Amino acid sequence: MGGSIDFITISPNNRFYCVDLDDNSICLVNSITQTIEQVIQDRQYAQVHHPSNPLTNDLVIETRNHHVVMNEVPGSLQFYNVNAGSHVMDLEVVPINSVVRAAEKEIVNTHVMYVAFFV
């Protein structure tokens, strides 16, 4: 693995471990054979360690195209195609203006807390 471990998630059937590394990659590890099945790289970095932008939703599978959906910058989601190993798109859920700041007031960005897809 290419970096230290930030997060670990276990699949509901305990067959896979999803390991998030600090080199901005995710490794899917088979818990039975203890081998790396898939590596997800080139995803957009969400500043999860910053207190004003916590990582609030887990990795979610989009039901129609089977893309992995995860947090990105505040107010946005990113879609990743695991089969092709590529970033598909960014979805700006809550529009933000990151350039203009009125009267030196602090800008509080809204972040996405929950993601759900219906069949």
Query: DSSP letter at 50?
Result: S
Strand partners of residue 92: 76
Sign of CA dihedral 85, 86, 88, 92: positive
- The residues facing 76 across adjacent strands are 92
E-only strand ranges, the chain: 5-10, 16-21, 25-30, 36-40, 60-61, 68-71, 76-81, 86-92
pLDDT of residue 35: 92
Report whether 27 contacts 9 (CB < 8 A). Answer: no
Task: Give every residue of the chain whose pLDDT is below 50, as ranges.
Answer: none
pLDDT at 58: 65
How far is residue 82's CA from residue 18's CA, in Å, rounded to a whole number? 13
Q: What is the structure's pLDDT at 9?
A: 85
pTM here is: 0.57
What is the side-by-side strand order in the sheet with 16-21? 5-10, 16-21, 25-30, 36-40
All structural domains of the chain with their residue ranges: 1-41, 42-119
